[in-house]
Structure 1
């Protein structure tokens, strides 16, 4: 049984099949018979777990198992206490209501790499970083949550899934590491 930690770069599709315009996992991982346990959008970066074991893939990705996922989110604007509380509590996004989650205003982590290409920069609009820990993971959920409270996401980096973290397994974008389960 293999478990691979991969730091997915920005603009890479979370699939092995060819894409007409963008690189895919196949451009970085040349390991037969592995599959992602969960996904990240092309415009998101960070930790993806891949495995060759279907039961492990289900344990990692199925919502019933509630694997905590940690995201660093650079947003446009600076949140106040009320905005952070709104993000922490169930938030109605129209088609679903989020579960309560952990949200903290944080400083830019020293270990975080520069994104290529860099995010857009506006001199008159400050940015800040949030750490958001979810036990669910619906499509584009973090981006939709921050937009709903008036803090559009500029950069989204998943840093941890369950007990696996890019802080304890430092990988630069495009790098991977096999770990024991």
Structure 2
């Protein structure tokens, strides 16, 4: 019987359980956050500087399904500066980013500016504060997951990402999880897409 979990991946952790090379020997890994069954893997990745909802599973087929373009992923990004509707529209329509040395235009997606900063726990490494200039928060929902896509998208419209938190995968939300906490999910497919049942 496969097991599935949702976890709040904190800033500074890799989305993996084992080191893949010499450079990663001193990096923090997911296994340090809990006692997970043998064969547990992360579904997709959040880079070391990103935080938020990460799904874990012992089922490779489930991992492939969630990583497919059928499942939306929503991110809250704190960006440097006061983003305007013009840049929001650009992001919604798709922007050109660099990907493995080639140019790639992102697919149209849902983007909106948050009216107030979200209430996330403070990050372990402090983000610069308002004395260094204003910031904005945007929600970006994608059903593709290119390497560092959200960061590249906000930079492409002139607003580099300062903090990135994934808040949703399908119908599963980060909710009140604290960084490093994990909860077991009994029926991952049903939780991801309850309206299909």
TM range (shorter): over 0.9
In 1, the alpha carbon distance for the partners of 2:84 and 2:64 equals 38
> Aligned match of 2:59 in 36, 53, 63?
53
Task: After superposition, give the CA deviation of every residue in 1:46-81 in whole Å (9 maximum; x if it has no partner).
Answer: 111010112111111134xx2100101000001111
When normalised by structure 1's length, the TM-score is 0.93
Task: After superposition, give the CA deviation of every residue in 1:98-150 in whole Å (9 maximum; x if it has no partner).
Answer: 0001111102123x111111112351410110111111110000000000101
CA drift at 1:11: 0.6
Q: Tell me the residue number matched to 1:179.
A: 185
Q: Tell me the residue number matched to 1:24.
A: 29
Structure 1 gap ranges (5+): none
Higher helix residue share? 2
In 1, the alpha carbon distance for the partners of 2:94 and 2:132 equals 31
In 1, the alpha carbon distance for the partners of 2:132 and 2:123 equals 21
Q: Tell me the residue number matched to 1:117.
A: 125
Equivalent pairs counted in the alignment come to 176
Q: How does 1:18-167 map to 2 (within 5 A)?
A: 18=19, 19-31=24-36, 32-63=38-69, 66-94=70-98, 95-106=103-114, 107-110=116-119, 112-121=120-129, 123-167=131-175
In 2, the alpha carbon distance for the partners of 1:172 and 1:122 equals 25
Q: Tell me how large the CA RMSD over aligned residues is.
A: 1.2
1:2 matched to 2:8: no
Which aligned runs of 4 or more in structure 1 are off by greater than 2 angstroms?
Answer: none
In 2, the alpha carbon distance for the partners of 1:131 and 1:154 equals 14
Q: Tell me the residue number matched to 2:191.
A: none
